[in-house]
Structure 1
């Protein structure tokens, strides 16, 4: 079963797209460092501890598919505590972000799939439910703040 979360952001679709796909923008709301190459099989690497890029990161993850500015599908790695069973190349999960213009803003739907049905995987899934809620809340508050790079073209 997938994790599915939705949030409405009072911001232009193109700006929300750039918040997800530009390294210098995703670092304002999600991770302190990032390398994103917006192309099929391009990098989608977020570094939650920039001093050690091999720890707490999505290093090695790629963009599976994108349709600008509506769809981004990426490989995903979990945090270090779940690395043993979910961060090997054959165990990577998938995150799909869909953006739809609505009422002058953007509806964001995030679907995180690829979970296995074991206790370890269920723990990782529950951790990610909370993590995605926090990430989407951060995106919304930063984009709607009226300040900084995220709110502006």
Structure 2
């Protein structure tokens, strides 16, 4: 498996960023970050009601329950942005994705020698109840989840 650097927090910009390399073509990585059946294998169990901008659904994690999710941007096969509600401290949010307590994460893919560079930036932590705690929580989360993505794609499991 390709070794990658850890995520980085920018407290001033309220962002978490991680850039990784994956030994696979852009098309395979795109599938792994946009198709619910593949996202569910490395991230949270994902259900979307469609494809592209405006698609809504949920991402479910065993320890956190179901989180509303919406596709904000879609530039196949180079860039996709999701908005999700994920601020536990705000309590139960109404159905659907809300601006308060939500952040956005963007996957940007680029072809490189030997595979794909994937840049992930999550922003909007200033909209959460405890930005510093949430930044750190998501920093460690991106490290764990993106390592699973690399393993999945490099083993060819995104081909199945």
TM bucket normalised to smaller: 0.7 to 0.9
What residue in structure 2 maps to residue 139 of structure 1? 149
- Give ranges in structure 1 of 5+ residues lacking alignment: none
TM-score, normalisation: structure 1: 0.82
Note if 1:7 corresponds to 2:15. Answer: no
Residue 90 of structure 1 corresponds to which residue in structure 2? 99
Give the TM-score normalised by structure 2: 0.78
Aligned residue pairs: how many?
A: 143
List alignment gaps of at least 5 residues for structure 2: 1-12
| Equivalent residue runs for 1:1-150 within 5 Å | 1=13, 2-31=15-44, 33-36=45-48, 37-49=50-62, 55-59=64-68, 61-78=69-86, 81-84=88-91, 89-91=98-100, 92-116=102-126, 120-146=130-156, 148=157, 150=158
Contact 2:128/2:134, CA 8 A, preserved across alignment: no
Q: How far does residue 116 in structure 1 lie from its aligned partner after superposition?
A: 1.3
The CA RMSD measured in Å over matched residues stands at 2.6
Q: Is the Cα–Cα contact under 8 Å of residues 44 and 74 in structure 1 kept in the other structure?
A: no
Classify the secondary structure of the residue corresponding to 1:89.
Answer: coil
Higher strand share: 2
Using a 3 Å threshold, how does the CA distance of structure 1 residues 89 and 141 change in structure 2: closer, same or farther? Answer: same
Once the two structures are TM-superposed, the CA of residue 10 in structure 1 deviates from its matched residue by 0.3
Which structure dedicates a bigger proportion of its chain to helix? Answer: 1
Higher mean C-alpha displacement, 15-24 vs 35-44: 35-44
Question: Against the structure 1 CA distance between its residues 83 and 38, is the aligned structure 2 distance closer, same or farther, given a 3 Å change threshold?
Answer: farther
Call closer, same or farther: CA 1:82–1:135 in 2, change over 3 Å: farther
